[in-house]
Amino acid sequence: MPSFRQQLETAERWRLFPGRERLEGAAVALTFDDGPDPDATPAVLEQLEAAGATATFFLVGEQVQAHPELAAEVAAHGHVVGLHGFMHVEHDELADPRADLERGAAALAEATGRPPALCRPPYGRFSRASYTACLELGLEPVYWSGWGCDWEPIPAERIADLVIRDVAPGVIVLLHDSARYAYRDSARPTAEALPAVMEAVARAGLELVGVGSS
Ligand SMILES: [Zn+2]
């Protein structure tokens, strides 16, 4: 878990640098950060496809360059693709945040054939400079309103429980299809949590949509 101090700090940044935390409609959006990664992206795609669900993937430029075919596959499945930076670092630490976002957006466009329209910064934290750059580049800032704590080494059942607790009309759920920047060895528990999560969403009478399509 992020520390209480970090969470307070993130909340303060969200107030200063507003972004989309919820959908306008009554649907639910599952979002997957940090990929594409051969570890769990294929399993996540498989689960979504089995349920006929559309999701949103915030891809990391360096991951896209390492696995361009996976990035293309995510887009080919009809999912929304957003930018999660070229490098997965705190934007405060970037000497030139605009260059990082431009490089990331170019990597995504090259691999998927489409420039991204959405941007979620690593750790959900923009700097003033990166927020300005994001808006100037025409990218919509996106945060979240629910999560599965799936950067921690917790089992699929626990991830599902945490997400299901947050299922409500308009919620944007933060999940991860790569463990590369997390405290766990694999992101596969996230993929394994999806059937229970998607069943709960359906039981609540809610539709799964990509961010920006509702
Ligand atoms: Zn991330």
Q: Model confidence over 25-37: pLDDT tens digits?
A: 899 999 999 999 9
pLDDT > 70 in the chain, percent? 98
33 belongs to the catalytic site: yes
What is the Å distance from ligand 1's center to 180 Cα? 9
Catalytic site residue from 33, 34, 37, 150: 33
Kindly tell me if the per-residue pLDDT of 199 is higher than 90: yes
**CA distances (Å), 49 to each of 42, 43, 52, in order?**
10, 10, 5
Catalytic site residue from 34, 176, 177, 185: 176
pLDDT tens digit string along 131-147?
Answer: 999 999 999 999 999 99
What is the Å distance from ligand 1's center to 118 Cα? 14
pLDDT tens digit string along 16-64?
Answer: 999 999 999 899 999 999 999 999 999 999 999 999 999 999 999 999 9
State the DSSP code for 142. Answer: B
What is the Å distance from ligand 1's center to 175 Cα? 9
Does residue 9 or residue 44 have the better pLDDT? 44
Q: What is the DSSP string of 3-42?
A: -HHHHHHHHHHHHHS--B-B-SSS-BEEEEES---TTTHH
Strands 140-141 and 118-119, bridge-based pairing: parallel
Q: Tokens standing for 45?
A: 């795609």
What is the Å distance from ligand 1's center to 34 Cα? 5
67 belongs to the catalytic site: no
What is the Å distance from ligand 1's center to 195 Cα? 23
Band (1; pLDDT cuts 50, 70, 90): low
